Amino acid sequence: MHSWQVLTLGLLMTMVAAHALAEDAPQTDIEYARIDNHPLLLDLYPAPPTDQPAPLVVYVHGGAWRAGSKTDMPLKALVHRGFTVASVDYRLTPVARFPAQVHDLKAAIRYLRAQAIPLHIDPRRIAIAGSSAGGHLAALVGVTNGHAELEGPLGSHCATSSDVQAIISLYGAANLHSILKQSTPHGLSVRVPALQLLLGGQPSEYPELARLASPVTHVDAHDPPLLLIHGDADPQMPVDQSHELEKAYETLNRPCQLEVIPGGKHGGPEFYAPLRIEQMEKFLRDSWPVPQD
């Protein structure tokens, strides 16, 4: 191969790599609301461009409600499958107690729906997904469409709906009143201080607040389809939490799918392996109406 051919091939490969990197690069630090002069931010991972607006998945990171960041976004494979993903930061419990986290997430959904045209997303096909504490918050947001107390006053789009049309909860809490009884000693060492920060005390001390924060107490006949993924050897978040939420859905004949990973712990690559991503994609596409031209 001639030297000029080597140079041309090298330039071509560099351009291809740069184009792929640009496609994967999110739009970072988009302000969706502000409170006490503190900006609330999200990162947007746009789907590959098509003629149709893309369905949207709002992703909620974990971290025991007290840590974590929007930069931890494990659903990039969904972006390559045609979904726009928004990874949202919310106020953590050292800064604000519950229900601040839910107020923030609903404000983010309102913002994204209000910006549907410039962001090229379909406001009729919005899902919320999360893992661990984010799975709890995703489930809670999803089963409280239109809940006045949890809606919150944040952002510039309060007249816009924060409803979602599908929910994915990965190894998240569902019932704060039963979680401690179901927990291992290791789980208690994580969950007791986390609940203290979330609620300002333990569920037994604030029973009504714990009830408000528990997805199982809000399930009704109008809730959107739900996908639960949980490991049966989770040492931090008892798999019984997902079984409780599944039972609440089944009691009201709502669509719910629980995938239990044998030997699965609290997170790990098996939760985002190609098989799981395929399950998520199928669940989401089956949950939404076919877009009409």
Q: What is the mean pLDDT of each run of 10 residues along the chain (293 residues)?
A: 49 43 76 95 97 97 97 97 98 98 98 97 97 98 96 95 98 97 90 96 97 98 97 95 98 97 95 96 89 58
55 domain residue, yes or no: yes
Instruction: Say what the pLDDT of residue 23 is.
Output: 53
Sheet holding 166-170, edge to edge: 27-35, 38-45, 84-88, 54-60, 121-131, 166-170, 226-231, 256-261
Q: pLDDT at position 293, please?
A: 54
The torsion defined by the Cα of 223, 226, 232 and 235, in degrees rounded to 10, comes to -70
* Residue 247 in domain: yes
- Distances in Å between the Cα of 191 and the Cα atoms of 187, 188, 278 are 6, 5, 31
Which pLDDT belongs to residue 16? Answer: 39
Q: Quote the domain boundaries for residue 46.
A: 26-287
Would residue 4 count as lying in a domain? no
The answer to whether residue 87 sits within a structural domain is: yes
pLDDT at 20: 41
Whether residue 19 lies inside any domain: the answer is no
The CATH number of whichever domain residue 142 belongs to comes to: 3.40.50.1820
Give CA 53 to chain center in angstroms: 20
Question: Are the CB atoms for 88 and 134 separated by under 8 Å?
Answer: no
Domain count, the chain: 1
Q: Strand (E) positions, 46-152?
A: 54-60, 84-88, 121-131
Instruction: Determine, yes or no, domain membership for 128.
Output: yes
Phi-psi category of residue 213: left, alpha or beta, with phi > 0 → left and psi -120 to 50 → alpha: alpha
109 belongs to a structural domain: yes
Side-chain-facing half-sphere of 257: CA atoms under 13 Å: 14
- Could you tell me if residue 220 is inside a domain? yes
Chain centroid to CA 261: 19
Side chain identity at residue 78, one-letter code: L
